[in-house]
Amino acid sequence: MRPRPTSGKTLEVAEADVGKAAKSVDLAESGREQIAESEQLTVVKRHTVEEARRSLASSDDTLAYTKMRAPFPGIIVRRARNLGDFASPGVAVLSMYNPKLLYVTANLEETRLQGVSPGNGVRLEIDAFPEPFRGRVVWLNKSTGAQFSLMPRNVVSGEFTKVVQRVPVRIAIEKDDRSPQLRAGLSVRVAIEHGPGDLTWADQAAREMIALETKHNLPEK
C-alpha cells in the first residue's frame, strides 16, 4: 500500500496550483489588453484610410479643374490662349467646329424667295474646288438676318430708305470624296432649283442636324 501524502505537501501543491492559475490569469489579462490595443489601432487605421480617400477625391477634383474638355469632337481653327497663359472665366480660349456638321447658309434677298422650298436641290459653286457640289435646302429662317443683329434697324423712326432684307437659308451639302477637304468659312455661290420641294426629306434632315448640334450639349445620364 502507498503511503498517504501529508497535509503539508498537499498545501504546497495547492499553493503551486494557485500560483499557476494566477499566472494564467495575468497572461489572459495581458492578452486581453493586447487585443484591445489592436482594436484601437484598427480604428485609427480605418480613420487614416478614410482621410486618405477623402484627400484622393479632393486631389482628383482639383486635377479635373486643370483639364478643359471640348463640348464635341471637332477641329480647332483659332487659339486665343497659349501654354502658360491665364484664362479668366468667360474668356474665349479657342474656336472650333464640328466637321460632321458642315452646311451652307445662303442669305437670299427677300425678293428672290419665291419658289424656294425645303427639299429643293442646290448647285454649290465653291471657289476652292473646280467642280461644284450638290446640296438641298433644309429650311428657311423665320426672320431676316438683320432682325437679330447687334443694332437692328428701327423702321418706325421716319426712315425713308428701303433696304431689301435677306433671309438665311440653310443648305445641306451632299457628301462625296471631296467632303473631308471642306473648310468652314469658304465662299460659295448657290443656284437653287425652284419647285414644291420635299418636305418629308427636309423634316428628316432638319431633325438630324438639330440632333447633331445638341448631342454634346445634353447632360450625361
Of the chain, the percentage scoring pLDDT greater than 90 comes to 25
Q: Is the pTM of this model over 0.75?
A: no
Closest Cα to residue 139, out of 101, 162, 169? 169
CB atoms within 10 A of CB 128: 11
C-alpha grid cell, residue 218:
445634353
What is the reported pLDDT for 194?
92
What is the reported pLDDT for 5?
52
Is 125 within 8 Å of 193 (Cβ atoms)?
no
How far apart CA 157 and CA 141 sit, in angstroms, is 26
Strand partners of residue 79 = 94
How far apart CA 172 and CA 119 sit, in angstroms, is 10
Query: Average pLDDT of 109-132?
Result: 91
Give the C-alpha distances (Å, rounded to integers) separating 207 from 172, 191, 211, 217.
12, 24, 6, 16
* pLDDT tens digits, one per residue of 130-186: 999 999 999 998 876 555 554 555 655 555 567 788 889 999 999 889 988 888 888
Query: Average pLDDT of 13-25?
Result: 70
Compute the radius of gyration of the chain from its Cα atoms. 42
